[in-house]
Amino acid sequence: MYYEEKANSHKPRYGTIQDDERLSAEEMDERRRQNIAYEYLCHLEEAKRWMEACVEEELPSTTDLEEGLRNGVYLGKLAKFFAPKMVSEKKIYDRDQARYKRTGLHFRHTDNTVQWLRAMESVGLPKIFYPETTDVYNRKNMPKVVYCIHALSLYLYKQGIAPQIQDLLGKVAFTEEEISNMRSELEKYGIQMPTFSKIGGILANELSVDEATLHAAVFAINEAVDKGEAAVTIGTLKNPNAMLRNTGEELAQDYQDTLSRAKASKELQASGRRLSIATEERDVYEELLTQQEIQSCVDLVNTQVAVRQVNQAISAQNEAALLVGLKVPALGLLGVQDANSHWYLEHFTTYCQVQTRDAGGAVMLEREEIQRVVISCNDFAEAEKRKLEAITAINSAIRHGVAAETIEELTNPEAQLPIVYQTAANLYQTELFSLQIQGPKAGLGHEELSVAVEMLSAVAVLNEVLDTKEPQAVTEQLSDSPLGFSNMDHDNLHR
């Protein structure tokens, strides 16, 4: 795959064109393209080693790393490393990658990438570096993803959170085939390669905030909170110099009340330490709310309001309002899909009815419950979609008239049908075809198929039992199976 170069030269494997080389324009362009592919492979190797150091786990090989990142599991584990309060092990979908290895990518794998993006936002990495979820899941722009990992590594290193990423350009080598394959991939997607060398400068520019201006804005917020006037407080919160996110005018009083309580609590804690600390040693922020604490209060209010909005939509049986509420950024829900809005209302309604019955009174769903119901509903909707696809395939096989094909489709677990016996393939084909031609053009529905398959399976078992010539077994099959015969004359069993 690659190996460490022993030579002291730091030139890449396909380094700069030497002065004494006489290359045509076409050859120079060929060399340039190979250089780009080689350098990108080096950046992939750098990202791989840095992530391995952070998550303490071996990642796929350099040439397989892009594919290995698509399910977001390693990105989720990286997020857990630098933002453990936000991302726990349990929040990483398919963390052992068992499902991915068994059936490939699933739409819920995007939840891992979303968590990674939100974790980066929580630690303050500028959004200019962020890729889109489709860049990861659909492999739409993997260089952008690797570029973001490099920017994140530098940002976390400067904060003392993560180790420094290595510079491996010219220090590792790849085979001609590996470089050519990567070049083909890059050219196939037509991706403009990011300038990795400019990450440091961009990061510095994005983070160049006048600290004195920030402190002044934070002091103004604390003063406004003390005055107790919500209209004044919201004005200070919306000051760009305070660098606060997601402040809404309509929530001014809620912000005021929450900030006031938080500040009073902090002042109370500080009062117990005053006597033991000299005046000159005291930190001004012992009693004042910091920018991060203010942001936490804003986020808390936004989340509470969003949760209230979701609960009200469920009570009002308003599907559109429920979807809007679930998508409020402050709620931070993963995997909300417009196509599942009907299922969301149905599942939330059922869930609330059960909770209300168990509690003996009206209940208010919390954010964690809302997230669980959304995930459960998405799984259900996906299963329903696959069930309909399986039923369509079954009807198609029945029309085609080949018993082996029909039995294969009937045994597809995604069809969610009763047990099917391979030995009775012709029975299923004959009887289901007869039912199908009597029914609508669209074919047999899931309920019709379920009833028919259950009965036919019982007949198949009965046929086998009859071959044994055991009266007791025949009686049990006739009476206890879905066939459900009654008033049988046992004297006739031998006929």
Taking only the tens of pLDDT, the chain with its 495 residues reads: 433 333 333 334 444 434 445 667 787 888 888 999 999 999 999 999 999 999 989 999 999 999 999 999 999 999 999 999 899 999 999 999 999 999 999 999 999 999 999 999 988 899 999 999 999 999 999 999 999 999 999 988 877 788 889 889 888 989 999 999 999 888 887 878 898 888 887 877 776 556 667 788 889 999 999 999 999 999 999 998 888 888 989 999 999 999 999 999 988 887 765 554 444 434 567 788 988 889 889 989 999 999 999 999 999 999 999 999 999 888 878 888 999 999 999 999 999 999 999 888 888 999 989 999 999 999 998 888 899 999 999 999 999 999 999 999 999 998 889 989 898 899 989 999 999 988 887 789 989 999 998 889 888 877 776 666 666 665 665 556 565 554 545 555 555
Distance CA(335)–CA(107), nearest Å, equals 8
- Strand, coil or helix: 174: strand
The four Cα atoms 105, 109, 110, 112 give a dihedral, to 10 degrees, of: -150
Written as six digits, the tokens of 369 are 């419950």
Going by C-alpha positions, the residue among 237, 346, 363 that lies closest to residue 302 is 237
Phi, psi dihedral angles at 173 (to 5 degrees):
-125, 150
> Hunting for tokens 């075809």 — which residue is that?
433
Distance CA(262)–CA(297), nearest Å, equals 8
What burial class does residue 487 get, using C-beta atoms within 10 Å of its C-beta: 0-12 exposed, 13-18 middle, 19+ buried?
Answer: exposed
Domains and CATH numbers, the chain: 2-206 (1.10.418.10), 210-365 (no CATH), 384-492 (no CATH)
Contacts of 427 (CB under 8 A, 6+ apart): 456, 459, 460, 463
- Strand, coil or helix: 34: helix
Residue 3 pairs with which residues in a beta bridge?
173
